[in-house]
Amino acid sequence: MNKKLMALAVAGAVAGAVVAPTEAMAQSSNIQMGGSLTVLYYLHDPKNPGGPGKKGDILEGSEPEMFIRGEEKLGGGLSAWFACASSFDLWGGGDGSTLCSRNSGLGFKGGFGNLFLGNWDQPQKLVYNQARGAFSGTNALYGGTATLLFGSSASGLGNGNAPVAGTDSNNPNRFYRRQARSVNWHSPNWSGFNVKGSFSSGTEHTGMGLSPLNPRLFGLSGEYASGPLYVGLGYELHEDWNPATLPVGPAAGQYNGGDDTNISLVGVYTFGGAIRLSGVYSKSEYETGVGSSMDVDGMAFYLDWKIGGPHTLRFQYGLVNDPEGTVTVGSYRANSALERGATVMGVNYEYAFSKRTAGLVGFNQMDNDPGAAFSQGKSAATVGGKQQSVGIAIKHRF
């Protein structure tokens, strides 16, 4: 009998040791886990007979993630919170396995808004995301407008310093960024208005020796949302990022620093809850060196039409005008006698199996002017060529 009582006592102690910390955590903070998966399977045709790339089928993911978030109420309306969102690759596509590589941070929330440090989408990107809605910024099956308007995307990277010729590991020519080591503030909602601001730490400065460059990012946005209307303005400044990776030193065209900027204006209106129409205008200016620069502007439009029940049709159209400049920056080509703009056009049909699972059939085409060479990112573009993608996608949130 004593042995049975002792066994029960030991079992109770072990159960208490396991349960007690969990209960204590539940009382002090709110922990959430979840994520999303999107897998694409499509035929990609680079339209380059005899040139780079072949027609072929592609299986890949689009922004898969798993997240864990927590918040602790500290009293007086103040909370501490954290978020760690990581790439979540189930199909062997090499999307990355680094923990907290997607929007992740640590900060405080209260009457002053949300102040946090981390790896986070910047204000200009957050404003543009309101326009694109369910479309991707860059993927080949239902994206591409960010490729034309912002030089593609950059995620989890620091300041684009490139103090040595040919070094551009931080993609210094690209706006539409998730910036590592950034300080961020998101204001409260003031009767529909809100403001977001950010700046990057100067971590890269310490490794630049005697270089006069001090690369840093600054971001700012203002937004208004009321009922069916949304209007947003995003601004981003890159100081000393050397986007064209010009030679440094005594050579002609030495990069002595400069400011690269993007401004994006977004408008969204929803008609009767069934039709969502949105648009963005973007203008970027690059200071690439002594007496050299690059200016580029463009726009994009999106339409979401909830036909009824689980059925939705979506359309996108984007264009970039001829870049004006003396130095090529990324895919923005320097002045020539040829037109150097491009367009992207896409249409897709989505069927919602449930609130968390949907299937999609889509078509997307990027079309270059005679002097342009933009790409959907799956094969090298030929000057003046076009690229097409057609296929399916499956989306699931958990």
The predicted structure's pLDDT at residue 56: 93
Which residues are CB-neighbours of 321 under 8 A, at least 6 positions away?
296, 297, 298, 341
Structure tokens at 221: 């946005």
Quote the pLDDT of residue 8.
Answer: 40
Question: 131 with 145: CB under 8 angstroms?
Answer: no
Question: Are 64 and 89 within 8 A, CB to CB?
Answer: yes
pLDDT, average across residues 237-263: 77
pLDDT at 247: 53
Lowest mean pLDDT among 208-217, 239-248, 262-271: 239-248
pLDDT of 202 above 80: yes
The chain-wide mean pLDDT, for the chain, equals 87
Evaluate if residue 163 carries a pLDDT over 70: no
For residue 97, what pLDDT is reported?
A: 54
302 contacts 278 by C-beta, under 8 angstroms:
yes
Percent of the chain with pLDDT over 90: 68
Confidence of residue 149 (pLDDT cuts 50, 70, 90): very high
The 3-state DSSP composition of the chain as helix, strand, coil percent (nearest 5) reads 10, 50, 40
| Per CATH, domain 37-397 is 2.40.30.160 | no
pLDDT at 192 over 60: yes
Q: According to the model, what pLDDT value does residue 63 have?
A: 87
Distance, CA of 332 to CA of 334 (rounded, Å): 7
For every residue of 106-148, DSSP letters joined together read: EEEEETTEEEEEEEEE-HHHHHHHHHHTTS-SS-TTT--HHHH
| Lookup result for tokens 């986007």 | 243
Dihedral angle computed from the Cα positions of residues 116, 128, 265 and 280, in that order, rounded to the nearest 10 degrees: 180
Longest Cα separation, the chain: 98
pLDDT value for 5: 41
What's the Rg (C-alpha) of the chain?
A: 24
Of 314 and 26, more confident: 314
**Dihedral Cα 120, 122, 127, 130, nearest 10 deg:** -20
Q: What is the arithmetic mean of pLDDT over 215-231? A: 97
**What average pLDDT does range 231-243 have in this prediction?**
95
pLDDT of residue 289: 79
CA distance 164 to 54: 34
Residue 22: band (very low, low, confident or very high) from pLDDT cuts 50, 70, 90: very low
Which two structure tokens, joined as six digits, stand for 391? 């296929």
Residue 183: CB atoms within 10 A of its CB come to 17
Phi, psi of 371 (to 5 degrees): -110, 10
| Helix/strand/coil for 160 | coil
What's the rounded mean pLDDT across residues 146-151? 97
- Confidence bin at 94 (pLDDT 50/70/90): low
Q: Residue 255 — pLDDT band, cuts 50, 70, 90?
A: confident
Q: How confident is the model at residue 245 (pLDDT cuts 50, 70, 90)?
A: low
Q: What is the pLDDT of residue 21?
A: 43
Q: Which range has the top average pLDDT, 250-259, 301-310, 321-330?
A: 301-310
Per-residue pLDDT for 117 more than 60?
Answer: yes
**Predicted pLDDT at 52:** 72
Helix ranges restricted to H, the chain: 2-28, 123-132, 145-150
Q: Is the pLDDT of residue 106 over 50?
A: yes
Quickly state the pLDDT bin for 96 (edges 50, 70, 90).
low
- Give the tokens for residue 312: 């939705």
What's the confidence (pLDDT) of residue 398?
Answer: 93
Nearest to 344 by CA among 141, 51, 131: 141
Q: What percent of the chain has pLDDT over 70?
A: 85
Q: What's the average model confidence in pLDDT over 192-202?
A: 96
Q: Which residue has the tokens 């000393």?
A: 240
Tell me the mean pLDDT in the region 359-371.
97
Report the distance separating Cα 349 and Cα 303, nearest Å. 12
